[in-house]
Amino acid sequence: MIFDYDELGRAIIFFDGDGKICREMHSSEFEAILDGYVPLKEWRNRELRAVFVEMDADYLLHSAIFFRVGFTEKGEIDPNWNLPLDAMTRAASEGPDLGAGPIKLACASQCPIMHYRDYLWDPDLNKNRGPLAALKKTIKTNKLSIQFRDPPEDFKPEKSAPEPQVNSADMERRFAEYTAEMRSQMAQLIKEHRMQDTASANENAEGIKALKVEHANQMEAYRLRLKEKEEELKEAETRNQMMQITIDGQAKKIEGLREYFEHKLEQNEGKEAEELQMLKENYEAEIAAKVEAATTELKQLLQMREVELLYRNERETQLHEEITRLRNEAQELTGNSGNQLLEKMLAKGISFVTYQPGAGHITIPASEISRFMDNPVAYAAQTCGVNEEHYTAWLEHYQAPVCSADLDDGSSCGENIDRISSPADFHIGIGDRCETHRELKGAHLSVVSNKP
């Protein structure tokens, strides 16, 4: 934006919540927003702090109005906002000097028109830091490219020359000239403004056109890529179908093989079972036959044995009977012949005498010969007046007169003792013992000669 050399450039500077400058704009741009032509969507439903500034051709600050502005949900400036920035600037009081003399400053605590006080805010007024320092720096940087026309060659800065004396008629003429000049300048400004707007619109249209072309190109590129991808997809689908067919074929083949082997397996199983059954039956039959044969044989053997046994029993009975009969016959014969012989011998004067230890010589009558013959010892014992057992014990002592006491080591004592010549005087446990082993008074008389 271009201003005249003696004009003041205008701009709006916005501060964010942290107190930093977030945006700068020309006053015309702000007016366009204010008129609702260009809504600011990024600021909808927000209230921002801003500063209306004026600067000279040396980019020095001349005035600053610290105001607030709210935005609707469409991004337009609150329609109730109607702060007269020009009027505020004209009425503002003096503030700090930022290089071009004291600036005109309006803020909440220094408000020239009291009923606009709520539209304003209070900055830190230290000129070396805070908003004032930031403003000074931003204006010098001139991001907005605010330009001023060069002054005419004959232009001379104001001097502190003495005011020329002017009369009232002259004053009126000058005022009229000044007004006319102002009007022509204003008309020129408006004209420039419109031209700039047109240029800007053209520029925008060209930009939009370029964007459209770019967009169309991109769309075409995307369309081509899509087509490519679709073809690839189609190809992949075809391939998949082929593979599916192959897989199906192989699956069928495998299924067939599986069935074939299952069938074969079943057949083999059936055969094996049959063979097994046959073998089992054969085996059972064989075993049964063997058992039958063995049983028959054994039965026959048993029968034979039974017959033999029966025969043998019969034979035994017969033999017993025979023996008894023969014995009787023999006894009869012996008795008859013995008695006859003895009677004949006695008649001829022969007598029978025997010698028995303890009993001496005994003459045996013919009637007792048979008894003597049956048991000579018993006969001798009877003759001595003792029983057979007593006699036998005595006879043993008589034949070997030693102590018969049993010792602990299993042997006999064997001590020589006196011989007792008569069985009647002999006492078992006393007569056949030495002094040491003799049992007293016969209290424990025991049978000694019980040996076989």
Per-residue three-class SS string for 130-141? HHHHHHHHHHHH
Calpha distance 38→71 (Å, rounded): 12
Pick 146 or 403: Cβ nearer Zn ion:
403
Pick 96 or 401: Cβ nearer Zn ion:
401
* Closest CB 317 distance from Zn ion, rounded Å: 56
Pick 132 or 403: Cβ nearer Zn ion:
403
* Closest CB 402 distance from Zn ion, rounded Å: 8
Pick 153 or 435: Cβ nearer Zn ion:
435
- Can you list the positions of beta strands (E) in 324-392? 352-356, 360-364
Helix axes 376-384, 388-399, angle to 10 degrees: 90
* Closest CB 312 distance from Zn ion, rounded Å: 57
Binding residues (CB under 5 A) for Zn ion: these are 403, 405, 413, 415, 434, 437
Residues in contact with 174: Cβ distance below 8 Å, sequence separation at least 6, in sequence order: 166
* Closest CB 395 distance from Zn ion, rounded Å: 19
Point out which residues pair with 69 in neighbouring strands.
48
Parallel, antiparallel or unpaired: strands 102-106 and 93-97: antiparallel
201-222 residues labelled b (16+ CB within 10 A) or e (exposed) = eeeeeeeeeeeeeeeeeeeeee
Pick 144 or 413: Cβ nearer Zn ion:
413
Residue with smallest beta-carbon separation from Zn ion: 403
* Closest CB 427 distance from Zn ion, rounded Å: 15
Residues across the chain: 452
* Closest CB 435 distance from Zn ion, rounded Å: 7
Pick 163 or 418: Cβ nearer Zn ion:
418
Nearest Cα to Cα of residue 88 among 70, 109, 105, 100: 105
Q: Does residue 127 contact residue 140 with C-beta atoms inside 8 Å?
A: no
Pick 33 or 403: Cβ nearer Zn ion:
403
Pick 125 or 413: Cβ nearer Zn ion:
413
Q: Does residue 70 contact residue 83 with C-beta atoms inside 8 Å?
A: no
The long-range contacts involving 104-110, CB below 8 angstroms and separated by at least 24 positions, are 104/54, 104/62, 104/63, 104/64, 105/63, 105/64, 105/65, 105/66, 106/64, 106/65, 106/66, 107/65, 107/66, 108/66
Calpha distance 25→21 (Å, rounded): 11
* Closest CB 397 distance from Zn ion, rounded Å: 12
* Closest CB 417 distance from Zn ion, rounded Å: 7
* Closest CB 403 distance from Zn ion, rounded Å: 3
Pick 100 or 434: Cβ nearer Zn ion:
434
Parallel, antiparallel or unpaired: strands 61-70 and 102-106: parallel
